Structure 1
């Protein structure tokens, strides 16, 4: 079952879902940009939204751009708070070490995911309760299945 929320928007190109049930709606570029190898650029989308309280939007990379061209979003996910009313812009990065990438006006450059969020009440304590994981962090579960490294 798909849930929906109404989001007021100002945009020449309203983000659209490519398929029923998709989580991300496509954001498109409003400017032509050339990304040289290793270069990043802030790319405008022309999209401004008024998210309801209790919701946030997250800007994430498009998998096809990442796999085929090495194009990703630098600060992924980019967070759009409910109170923000400015233009959503996407910081694209060309991770390809040899090929430049041209973004044309109207190209799909990222996806926008709208999600409900909660605000935590942070409660200072002297110690945290135990857990199975404990303080095991980066790499603590190993890299191959069934084997710790």
Structure 2
């Protein structure tokens, strides 16, 4: 699994994921944690229940790509930072 900071969190806080992308081996069975750097002047506190990391589990398989001239519409559309809630 790859761990990324949620884009909206990084846009509004002075915290950065120390290693940019965390990688969790498939054989790991412990608690998943993230290590952050505070690049601001003031202390930053992550409160219980805040959504600050997201994990992406990938399966390595063969893929093929198709070039298109336009993208299909989605429910999210072009919503940017923070558009999916807290």
TM-score (norm 1): 0.38
Deviations 1:91-113 (A, max 9, x none): 122112x2221111111121111
Q: Distance in 1 between matches of 2:28 and 2:36?
A: 21
SS at 1:116's partner residue? Answer: coil
Q: Distance in 1 between matches of 2:3 and 2:13?
A: 18
Which stretches in structure 2 are left out of the alignment for 5+ residues? 62-86
How many equivalent residue pairs?
Answer: 61
Pairs within 5 Å for 1:1-149: 57-96=1-40, 98-117=41-60
Which stretches in structure 1 are left out of the alignment for 5+ residues? 1-56, 119-149
SS at 2:57's partner residue? Answer: strand
Structure 1 runs, 4 residues or longer, greater than 3 Å off: none
Instruction: Flag the structure with higher strand content.
Output: 1
SS at 2:20's partner residue? Answer: coil
State which structure, 1 or 2, has the greater radius of gyration over its C-alpha atoms.
Answer: 1
SS at 2:23's partner residue? Answer: strand
Q: Distance in 2 between matches of 1:116 and 1:82?
A: 11
SS at 1:111's partner residue? Answer: strand
Q: Distance in 2 between matches of 1:60 and 1:113?
A: 8
TM-score (norm 2): 0.62
